[in-house]
Structure 1
Amino acid sequence: MELLESAALTSLVDHLLEQNNIPGLCIAVVHNDDVSSKGCGVANYENGVPCTGDTLFDIASCSKSLTAATVALLVGDKKYAKIQYTALMSDLLPDDFVMSDPTYTHGITVEDVLSHRTGMASHDSSYMGIKARNPDTPKSITRNLRNLQPAAPLRSRYLYCNQMYTVATHLIEETTQQSFADVLQERIFTPLSMNSTTLQPATAQAKGWSDRMASGYIWEKENNTWRSLPPQTYPEAQGAGSVMSSGNDFIKWVKALLYHEGPITDKVYHGLTTMRSIVNPQGRRLRAHTTPAIYAAGMEIYYYRGVQVIGHDGREPGFASRFVFMPALRFGAVVLGNSAGAANAATVIIRALMDEILGVAVGERPSYTKKTSEKKGKDLTINTKVQQPTNRPEKKQKAAKEDFGLPQTTPLEAYVGDYWNPGYRNMTVQTKDGHLFVDATDRSMGFTLVFHHVKGQTQYTATLTDEVELTDEPVHAEFVFKDGKAIKMGLDLEPAIKGLIWFEKAGST
């Protein structure tokens, strides 16, 4: 297709690869009856393996469209008559789906789960990963909801929640008595001949696809180089991400949505694209010619230059992705990349392609060759990994800065021990290099905490270091003392919740 071979697009992509520190990208498009793809850069920097249309990427939260579609297929299956968008989750999973407040337990429906309007906070730091003594499963993730605090009233606002998509896969598995991977294969991948798409990187490796898998990379500014990441497998978070696919394969999914092909009937499409939750009600940081997005089910809908656009994006350490389709113009696009910078590049590339399809005069198009940043805003306001900003009141933040570095006089042994929260499970406080230290790398989104005393021998700023990305975030921490020893620890681990997550010290009661 000439669209991908134009000198202008080639120049733009080359610029974006360099500007955003991206090893490689794959672009795939469908327009009318034509489908084509283009690989740019490298899938593996160390070995110089080029990106092609068949290179496999972790598509991260773009996977949510597949999860939602699987639920939609059950809604349309007479064999599973109880599965309806308006059905209560607690009726469908009476033993497992229990929230901390009965208002949510007896109010949340299937479509609430799929449209991020349950009011549930992400609590991404609560999942136990494959390295844990007791790894989580979709069932245990569902059953743990009762131990986690919601952040907003039901249906009061859009609140992105990865774990609710894992809960959706538990519903799928309990309903069909099949694994989620098998249901995906049977109902979507096989009918659409998506022969290079599978759930979890480990499965792709087991299928013998390792040579086609792109390596994920993080750009290290201080060394002016990329750091490669091993494949990340998260069975406990299935449904929210972790699908491996190629540009040539995933464009088949976009084409099916665009043309209502294969399993995507008109009824299924309608269920997936019913607008349910306003993502950005205030319209903050909108790009030119773009309306606020509304979340449907596994996809967002917005309008660009007056034309409807449907899609989703995804971010995973070392990877970023985005897909869109424009039903009125019979156009769809997929961009997959192997670094965080691909998120910004995907936005720019897709907007450039849409402008071309819309016939926007060159002089009316934005300049895409200005210096860009990985942290710039984007059309689809989705985050697969929530950052960990503190929720301390402004006065406390100011006090913390003023008092940071006051001497630690209470012996560290008074804090050491195991601390328990029913939703977040165990946190073991140790000492390391003269500081209190927590190793939480047994979690899906593993991290460590190093505590720095602020004041009163009870208030701390803990440096949260992401195990994979090695980024640091400040986290407010507090201890409660009794009889000279700590009996509780509070950590600011969930940005959407006011206050701290409190852990009780073992043996303190």
Structure 2
Amino acid sequence: MKPYATYRHRHTVLPRRILLLGSLLLAALTVSHAQTTAPDTARFAAQLDSLRTHYHVLGLSYVVLRGDNILQQGGLGFADLQTLAPATSATNYRIASLTKPIAATLLLQLQEAGQLDIQDPIKPLIPGYEDYYRQVKAYVLANEPQYVRLVEHFDFERDDLTIWHHLTHTAEYVPGDTFSYNGFLYGGLARLMEVTLQQPFAEILQQRVLTPLAMRTSAPSQETASDSVLQLLAKPYAYGGVGADSFTLAEYPSPDVNAGAGIVSNVLDLANFDRAIRDYRLISAESQQAAWTNQLNNAGEPIPYGLGWFVQRDPAGRRVVWHYGWQPGSFSGLYLKYPDEDLTFIVLANGENLSAPFGELGYREDVFVSPFAGLFMETFVDY
């Protein structure tokens, strides 16, 4: 008995209508399989909106990219509660510390051009370095006690402070010993670039990033933004409690820009920046990979930061580079990349709660304490 031969013989004499039915069934099964193995974008949007509501974020915008291609984009909630203007993927936000990876890219450009070396001592490169930080420290200690932590362990008189220490948040205590995230000290790198290039930092951003990357509805700062850019800018809101009036209009952060914060942008323009760093159009592959590598402290131990980026592994051991943004009481954001899987998630909000709830949960060492990051991983990386 030859069952395979029997099957073949019987198959050849099946009526054509049955063959057609079988073909349609196979096609349906194939489509069904594809649907179960592709990222569920509708579910992602719905769950992202649930997180937005749970964490009291009035409005947010997001984009997901694989390589150069947008897999998903959109807006949820409101950009302006008074007019009920919806948040969209074109809505502008103050991107807060998502400015830092962009500033780091510019700094590495200057290093590649031989105009500086990030291992150089920083004090000789910035006129008035000591006087500036002396005045700031005295002012903060006397008038802004909530910010004392940013200056109390920083010894601006040390001669061994380097550009690298500011760039990697290791400038406090004994320089190079300890990672201590400090946006204030990072922001001072803008002055270094201004002195090196003899032009304002806002102009540097415009000429070297925004214009060449066609980030047309972005601006280096709210202070320098055109009316057309400002018309797209979401209003900031603080959450004040339960009830219909729980969101209150907040004040915009300081309108200027430094290396640590200040850019006005949207997820689609930031997607242009993401494509540029992916394709090594701003800095070389070697410099980009250095930026995405955990730096080492004086003891030779890895810190959770590269050059302008947080760097870690996800629960499955995959490399993740990322940065959060947090303007207390007004704006927040998350820029999360899986370089080896070629996936990116960028999300911006007109409230602080994309970041604020996770600050005390080890956010600076593990992005996945944020359920926003976890949702992206489960939907687009783990599927």
Q: TM-score, normalised by structure 1?
A: 0.56
**TM-aligned CA deviation for residue 13 of structure 1:** 1.8
Cα pair distance change 1:328/1:222, threshold 3 Å = closer
Q: What's the counterpart of residue 55 of structure 1?
A: 91
Q: For residues 107 and 234 of structure 1, do their structure 2 counterparts lie closer, same or farther at Cα, with a shift above 3 Å needed?
A: farther
Runs of 5+ consecutive residues of structure 2 not aligned to the other structure: 1-34, 135-153, 359-366
In structure 2, the residue matched to 1:301 is: 311
Match of 1:167 among 183, 188, 205: 188
Quick check: 1:293–1:302 contact (8 Å CA) kept in 2?
no
Aligned to 1:211: 231
Which residue type is aligned with residue 58 of structure 2? P
Residue of 262, 275, 288 corresponding to 1:242: 262
User: Which of 136, 157, 171 is residue 118 of structure 1 equivalent to?
Assistant: 171
Q: Is the 8 A contact 1:63 1:243 kept in 2?
A: yes
* 1:48-447 → structure 2 map (5 Å cutoff): 48-78=84-114, 80=115, 83-93=116-126, 95-97=128-130, 105-119=158-172, 152-204=173-225, 206-221=226-241, 224-235=245-256, 238-260=258-280, 262-276=281-295, 294-304=304-314, 305-316=316-327, 317-343=329-355, 347-360=370-383
Give CA deviations for 1:97-134 in whole Å, capped at 9, x if unaligned: 57779895310111111000011xxxxxxxxxxxxxxx
Match of 1:389 in 2: none
Tell me the CA shift for residue 249 of structure 1: 0.6
CA 1:96 to 1:349, structure 2 compared with 1: closer, same or farther past 3 Å? Answer: closer
Question: What's 2:53 paired with?
Answer: 18
Query: What is the aligned-residue RMSD (CA, Å)?
Result: 2.7
Q: Secondary structure at the match of 1:233?
A: coil
- CA–CA distance in structure 2, aligned partners of residues 25 and 41 of structure 1: 6
- For 2:95 and 2:40, the matched residues in 1 are separated by 24
Q: Is the 8 A contact 1:215 1:228 kept in 2?
A: yes
Change (3 A) 1:85 1:109: same
Bigger strand share: 1
Q: Report deviation, 1:88.
A: 0.7
Q: Which of the two has higher C-alpha Rg? A: 2
C-alpha distance in structure 1 between counterparts of 2:241 and 2:252, whole Å = 22
Alpha-carbon distance in structure 2 between the residues aligned to 1:117 and 1:301: 15
Assess, with a 3 A threshold, how the Cα gap between structure 1 residues 5 and 117 changes in structure 2: closer, same or farther: same
Deviation at 1:4, TM superposition (A): 8.0
TM-score by length of 2: 0.74
| Runs (4+) off by over 6 Å | 2-5, 98-103
In structure 2, distance between residues paired with 1:269 and 1:342 = 26
SS in 1 for 2:188: helix
Distance 2:112 2:252 in 1: 35
Task: Give SS of 1:311's match.
Answer: strand
Give per-residue Cα distances to partners, 1:128-157, cap 9 Å, x unaligned.
Answer: xxxxxxxxxxxxxxxxxxxxxxxx222121
SS in 2 for 1:334: strand
Match of 2:67 among 20, 27, 32: 32
Q: Which amino acid aligns with 2:170?
A: R
User: Are the equivalent residues in 1 in contact too, given 2:93–2:331 (CA < 8 A)?
Assistant: yes
**Counterpart of 1:25 in structure 2: which amino acid?**
L
Ranked by relative contact order (alpha carbons within 8 Å, sequence separation 6 or more), the top structure is: 2
| SS of equivalent residue, structure 1 residue 209 | helix
1:342 is paired with a residue of what secondary structure? coil
Using the TM superposition, give the Cα deviation of residue 307 of structure 1 relative to its aligned residue in structure 2, in angstroms: 0.5
Give percent identity, aligned residues only: 20
Q: State the alpha-carbon separation in 2 of the partners of residues 185 and 196 from structure 1.
A: 12
**What amino acid sits opposite 1:245 in the alignment?**
S
> For residue 166 of structure 2, what is the amino acid of its counterpart?
V
1:234 deviates by 4.3
Distance in 1 between residues matched to 2:127 and 2:45, nearest whole Å: 54
Q: What is the identity, as a one-letter code, of the residue corresponding to 1:308?
A: R
Question: 1 CA distance for matches of 2:62 and 2:40?
Answer: 11
